[in-house]
Amino acid sequence: MSCVLIQNGRVVDPASGRDEIADLLIEDGRIANPREASREGCQVIDATDCIVSPGLIDMRVSLREPGHEEDETIATGTAAALAGGFTTIACMPDTDPPTDNRAGAEFVILQAERAGNCRVVPIGAVTKQLKGEELAEIGQLVDGGARAFSDAKTAIANSEVMRRALEYTRMVNRPIFHHPQVPELVSGGLMHEGYYSTLLGLAPMPAAAETIMIHRDLSLAEMTRGKLHLMGISTAAGVEQIRQARSRGVQVTADVTPHHLYFLDKDLQSFDAQYKVNPPFRTEGDRDALIEGLKDGTIDAICSDHQPYAEEKVSCELDQTPFGVVGLETFVPACITQLIETGQLTWLQLLSKLTINPARILGIERGTLAQGTIADVTIINPRTSQRIDPAKFRSKGRRTPFEGMMLTGRIELVIVNGQVRYRHQPA
């Protein structure tokens, strides 16, 4: 019988509302009652002054394999996820070929098992080849393990295709993860449309591109009663649209990234590509609205939107480099520094966005420390500060807007299926 005893930690479990100093016992890969079970022969872990959380879940990670292994592989991406505190990640279908059939979904699961790091849940493509024209084999992808459907960063512009996608996925009880953006309005754009885009002479990406598409998606979700998840909300108006739709009973959830809670359009004055993301960084008012959306529950989850690229792909002019930054290994310190240290969220509120809410959206039995559940556990040191050094990342990607910043918090230990898979090693 395998046994792990985590002592003296602050156990925070949003699924049950639990927040207390307590011991946590793991027996044979499951959470056990520390008062009833024998502790003899247990591996003891001292979690004094640390947060003991359900294993973190990231619903939006691009792993690039197959097709672009120079950017990231499932092995390197899951190693980075472990170091970031994640026990489960959902893999976007933006590979080559895309994950638009059963074999593709099964390949992701098999490669993750071989890597032996964290668990990987495949997200299937909504349309074949991510072209937005013909629905992928939804039923076959479900059989292959897909827990949700998305065309990743490619917005589904055809409203009839989106309608049918919501209808089909409703029948298999799966959500559509959509990138809410009108493609024609952002074509060639580099940053948020506003004062700084005019000042810098950079092609704009207007906020209306997001809000127009959100309005369409919400209308279709309301009509079809399908499950809609809006990825990477970046505008104050978008948050308000979602808030109102939820009050009408629309089945919609939403997420935001840690970097959109920090950075603004003015940061691109440096012309540094580490601030080039999609959707773009917007105004201070937009950023404040995103934080307010997290506080009142309008925004359900925080996702890394991990977008790794090989060095040669990001070492070029701003208009030539692809959108996106890596986010797995900076995720927790960024959230602690911006949301916990500032008093914007409590630990129960923050961890709900990283554990039980993503688990419910994906429809997986994870994100809790309830007795009898599979033991996925993340131990967080909430006080230690660290300077972000991309050279130490386990991911192949190195581009991050947090480079060189002092952030608070560190992942100390990660347990997956009752086994210690990651332990912080002092330099």
Residues catalogued as catalytic: 305
Q: Which residue has the tokens 């959306």?
A: 293
For the chain, the farthest-separated pair of C-alpha atoms sits apart, in whole angstroms, at: 68
Q: Cis omega before residue 66 (within 30°)? A: yes
Q: In a 10 Å sphere around its CB, with 0-12 CB exposed, 13-18 middle and 19+ buried, how is residue 400 labelled?
A: buried
Residues 6+ apart with CB under 8 A from 392: none
CB 106 within 8 A of CB 145: yes
Q: Which residue has the tokens 């949700």?
A: 148
If we measure between CA atoms, which residue out of 52, 49, 50, 25 comes closest to residue 39?
Answer: 25
